[in-house]
Amino acid sequence: MKSTLNDGILTIFLEGHIDSANAAGIEKEINEILAANSPKNVILDAENLTYISSVGLRIILRLRKQFRDLTITNVVSDVYEVLEMTGFTEMMDIQKAYRRLSIEGCEMIGQGSNGVVYRLDPDTIIKVYRNPDSLPDIHRERELARKAFVMGIPTAIPYDVVKVGNSYGSVFELLNARSFSKIVKADPSKLDETVDEFVKLLRQIHSTAVKPGEMPRMKEVALRWAQDLKGALPEAEAEKLIALIEAVPERDTMLHGDYHFNNVMVQNGEVLLIDMDTLCVGHPVFEFGSVFLANKGFGELDHSVTEKFLGIPYELTLQIWRKTLEKYFDTTDDAAVAAYENKAMVLGYTRLLRRTIRRDPENTELINHCKQCLSDLLTKVDSLNF
């Protein structure tokens, strides 16, 4: 019988049938594994368990007397029905197995830092998480999406969690939905009306009040970015950067946190927001730092980065960025737009510099570019508020 021990948690992998013919031998082997490991708690992984009889259930009951937090995971449907019918699901934590899906041959319609979104068929999409231990992130995103929906944000809510290879995915029903990126790529003449809808939804998000403590505070995240750059920037610049972020007024209104044309979809004429794991609260300037990166910052030195990310030409993403600023702030004045852009770029380059130092420290060209841009901006910007 296979088993693993991790931080005092012993996982025992059950297989095949457990019935009167083999129950005694299985219980003896389990007890030998327990004696050899002295665990704090036990998890029974039942992914390959196809049948369990009443004598097998009594083994589980005896185990639970030793380990009050005993958990059974990856339980297939037939076995789960037995455990549910006999009341075991009310006595302990029992988790059904996740159905498996393949994304082979599926169209990739978007990606972010935490996952990649694919279209499974005309009716459904799936977000596959990069981290194989992403279940807590998935449940957190589902809860954030539910809260946003209750608050009136038009969002797609995942209806299923599945296994995809060694990772997990969230499945959404989006009937023939198309992202804003797909719409403007197919017909660039629709850019202005698409930006109008993009900004309309963004304003709705930013005007939605959130109860304290229900979502993370983006200001705290941005402060950590800046504090991590103390050794990378000249001392005076690092201090000013931190002071600028600290001075941003507190807001208990919603931010998406990763707002771009791939994360806004149209389904039967209705605009829907997806990818809700970055939902937070704070001043809109933090949102614009992210919008700047998606449309301009990530691809400044290599336009193909943005083109691959959004699936549209870089020249078009620059227009999206400019028109978003003009529409949101209701101005076409170059000086006014530049002032708003500079505030957003301070946060955008802060995030990009920290990210590059941590993930791609050999990319000195991008690191030096971010440092120079920040240095220039910090001579011009004395407040991130607007």
Q: What per-residue confidence (pLDDT) applies to 96?
A: 86
Q: Is the pLDDT of residue 172 over 90?
A: no
Mean pLDDT of all residues in 33-45: 95
* Helix/strand/coil (H/E/C) assignment for every residue in the chain: CCEEEECCEEEEEEEEEECCCCHHHHHHHHHHHHHHHCCCEEEEEEEEEEEECHHHHHHHHHHHHHCCCCEEEEECHHHHHHHHHCCHHHHCEEEECCCECCCCCCEEEEECCCEEEEEEECCEEEEEECCCCCHHHHHHHHHHHHHHHHCCCCECCCCEEEEECCEEEEEEECCCCEEHHHHHHHCHHHHHHHHHHHHHHHHHHHCCECCCCCCCEHHHHHHHHHHHCCCCCCHHHHHHHHHHHHCCCCCCEEECCCCCHHHEEEECCEEEECCCCCCEECCHHHHHHHHHHHHCHHHCCCHHHHHHHHCCCHHHHHHHHHHHHHHHHCCCCHHHHHHHHHHHHHHHHHHHHHHHHHHCCCCHHHHHHHHHHHHHHHHHCCCCCC
Q: Is the pLDDT of residue 208 over 90?
A: yes
Q: Is the pLDDT of residue 173 over 90?
A: no
Q: What is the pLDDT of residues 330-342, one digit of tens each?
A: 999 999 999 999 9
Q: What per-residue confidence (pLDDT) applies to 109?
A: 77
Q: What is the pLDDT of residues 224-283, one digit of tens each?
A: 999 999 999 999 999 999 999 999 999 999 999 999 999 999 988 899 998 888 999 999
Structural domains for the chain: 3-96 (3.30.750.24), 107-173 (3.30.200.20), 178-380 (3.90.1200.10)
Q: Is the pLDDT of residue 175 over 80?
A: no
Q: What per-residue confidence (pLDDT) applies to 122?
A: 83
Q: What is the pLDDT of residues 44-87, one digit of tens each?
A: 999 999 999 999 999 999 999 999 999 999 999 889 999 999 99
Q: What is the mean pLDDT of the chain?
A: 94
Q: What per-residue confidence (pLDDT) applies to 176?
A: 78
